Amino acid sequence: MHIHLSNASDKPIYEQITIQLKEAILANKLQAGDALPSIRALAKDLKISVMTTKRAYADLERDGFIETVAGKGSFVTERNQDFLREELLRQVEAHVLKAVKLAKTAGLSNEELQDLVTLMLEGDHLR
């Protein structure tokens, strides 16, 4: 698994790591039981502080995405389908809110925005 960090991002490095690992787990690129690199190994690989990777792993564990077993490492947890759906719904809501704000800035009416969403849902680009 490759993690890409950007100095140009408005998000702190630990959050970039957290987001990318969550996305990999939600997309089943990382599955239940998969081992993550150790905190030190990931820090060395990304050329960042161990404290930064420790914060990312702590956030992932707090949110229920990974579990850490003393002396063995960190592993992707078994995902509850309701929890998975809730996390994906939260992400959809965030993206829709961003789209609505952008549409308002562009001067689109509610009807125009609804028409645009309908067109997007019916489009071939979703496949």
- Residue 80 has a pLDDT of 66
Q: What is the mean pLDDT of residues 42-67?
A: 95
User: Where would I find the H helices in the chain?
Assistant: 13-26, 39-46, 50-62, 81-105, 110-122
pTM value?
A: 0.69
114 to 88, 99, 101, 122: CA distances (angstroms): 21, 11, 14, 12
CA distance 45 to 3: 10
93 to 22, 37, 89, 99, 110: CA distances (angstroms): 16, 31, 6, 10, 17
In the structure, what pLDDT confidence band is assigned to residue 127 with cuts at 50, 70 and 90?
Answer: low
